[in-house]
Each structure stands twice: as C-alpha cells, then as structure tokens.
Amino acid sequence: MMVVLVMIWTSTVGPSGVYATLSEPSVVRTPDTWFSHLKQLGYPWKPHYLHLHYPGLPSPLRVHYIDEGSRHAKETLLLLHGTPAWSFLYRFMIPVFVQAQYRVVALDNIGFGRSDKLTDPASYSHDLHVETVRLVVQSLDLKGITAVLHDLGGPTGVSALRRDPERYRRVVLLNTWLPQGDVLTRPFEHVAYLAWRTLVTVLGRHTPVQTVFKVTTDATSSAVRLGYGAPYPTYLYTAGPAFWPLMVPLTPEDPVAREMQASAAFLQRWEGAALVGYSDREVFTLAGRSLLLHVLPTACEVQIKDAGHFLQEDQGPSVALIIKEFIEGRCVATRRQA
C-alpha cells in the first residue's frame, strides 16, 4: 500500500492548482477531441446527454450517459462508478449485458467522464451525486432497475435507491461500503482509505488520475492515458476525483454518516434481491463488507479472483457473467451465522 501511495505522490506536477481560485470558470467541459480514441479502446458507444437543473446552481449541467440495448428489454441495468473512474470502467462488462438482451445505462457523475465538471471543490457534495442519479433515472423513466454500484457509487446509489425504491428490482454492491462515521474509531480497518484521504487532501486537484489506474489495475498504458485520463486535460477538470473521497464521513454525527446509517437501515428492510461481491485484492472498502452482509443476510455473496479494487478493469467479463447469473436466479445465497 505505501509503495502505491509513494508512486502516486511522485507523479504530481507541482503545488499549484490544489484549490480553486476566483479567476477560474465555475464549470468546464472536456472537449470531444479528448475522447477520440475511445472506440479503439473498446468503448464505441454513442454519447447521450441530459441537461439537469440542480438546487443552488444558476445554470443546468450537462450529464453524459450511454444507453445500449432495447428500451423494451426484460432487464435494465444502471451502472454507477466511483472515483476517479467514469463509465469507461464498465467497457468490458457492457457487451456481456447487451448480448444477454438487457438494457444498459451507464452514467458519468458531475465532475467525471464526459459530464460537466465544477472547478470549485466546495460545489461537490453527496447530495449532488445522488441528485444526478435520481434525475437521470427519472428523466429516462427507468424501471425494474438492477443497480450495479462500485466504490463511492455504492453510497450514492443506495441513497438514490432509498429515494425511489419502486424503480429498483435488485442491487449489486461491488467493492463498496456504506461508511457509518466510524473511520477514526476503527483506524486499522480503514488504513488504506485514510492513507488515500491524506494523499488527496495534500494534492487536491493535482491528484494524478492516470497514475491511480497505472499502479492499481492491469489496464494497458493506452487505456490509462487515453481512456481513464481522457476527461482531465488539466487540473481545472479534476476537482471531482480529487474531492469525492473527502465526502466519506469521519464521525457518526456527520450528515453523510446519518444518511449512510439511514441507508443501511433501509437495506435491512428492503425486499429486493442483492449481490455483494469483493475482489481478493481489495483493501479500500473491505471494512464495509460485514455491515453489508449484516443488513442483507440473504444476499448472494461472491469473491472475484485475481482482481484489485477496480475489478471491472481486471476481470470485467467474469464479473458481468456473475451478475447475469444473479439476475437470472442462478446465484445461491451464502448461509451465514447470525
């Protein structure tokens, strides 16, 4: 872990640009030319956009999503990323779902991928990301959703599910957690996250997105540079990836902790099907596994072999097949002691 963090640290480009300044635009949009290599990298899908209005923001923001498969498909999947990823992360899984004749919607949160990016870190919040998911789902009138949630897409997606539960049929939780505000009281369980939090606190918008994927995944150099790095031409574009980790609550009284406590209680009452999966090399969110299995005692539980935190990159087709079997009822829940 320390080797990874040192490698990321030494890739920084200087001390400027850690925080926003008054002379910067409030919103930036990555030029389309930065995404010109996506087809060669296995991400050939047509971009779609919604212009969404957010409370407290003067103008609508453009949100990108891909929408593949029939609008009348028997199953609809909603794929949510965490940080510093975007929908490019799911490029190895989407073909499996489309071949199964599912509808697949994968969006980019504000600050990520082809969606608009706020330059001021203070503009980002848990509610902003939840509202993005909620508005996209409502705008597209998605129903019978199987939500596939990864990393900080887990807290975001479960909050969105809790707000519109009638639209969701299943939830898939992959290398994620519902942080309850106990990070500081259980530091040894959260050492990887605390190290990452310290790093992004120091580096701010110079957090090196490409290096994260270079040292933590099996991705090719082209995928790292032209795929994962494409949305972020300069530090003006990286406030989203740099500051999403800082939204994880440190104390139980934090508003996000309260939200996550309510989300855990909601899952305990929820009657939909659930799959909980962690990779064998996961370190960042593994501390949250016991809570998920506690509130979802009948969930299907799987371990993804030979994969790190970004298991979609390392074992994408295999993970997609696991989810397909789960949707089709061939995943048997693991019995656990109460």
Q: Which domains does the chain have, with CATH numbers?
A: 2-327 (3.40.50.1820)
pTM for the whole thing? 0.92
Give the Cα separation of 204 and 191 in Å (integer): 20
Residue 10 pLDDT > 80: no
pLDDT band at 333 (very low <50, low <70, confident <90, very high): very low
Q: What is the pLDDT of residue 23?
A: 78
Cβ atoms of 113 and 119 within 8 Å: the answer is no
Residue 334 pLDDT > 80: no
Query: Percentage of the chain with pLDDT > 70?
Result: 91
Lowest-confidence pick of 8-17, 194-203, 229-238: 8-17
Where in the sequence numbering do the catalytic residues fall? 151, 280, 309
Which among 233, 214, 311, 227 is positioned nearest to 40, based on CA atoms? Answer: 227
pLDDT band at 12 (very low <50, low <70, confident <90, very high): very low
Q: What is the pLDDT of residue 336?
A: 38
Give the Cα separation of 229 and 213 in Å (integer): 9
Structure-derived torsion over alpha carbons of residues 284, 285, 286, 292, reported in degrees to the nearest 10: 180
End-to-end CA distance of the chain: 33
Taking only the tens place, the pLDDT of each residue in 20-72 is 555 789 999 999 999 999 999 999 999 999 999 999 888 999 999 999 999 99
Q: What is the pLDDT of residue 227?
A: 97
pLDDT band at 331 (very low <50, low <70, confident <90, very high): confident
At residue 273, φ and ψ (nearest 5 deg) are -80, 150
Structure-derived torsion over alpha carbons of residues 28, 33, 39, 41, reported in degrees to the nearest 10: -70
Cβ atoms of 41 and 227 within 8 Å: the answer is yes
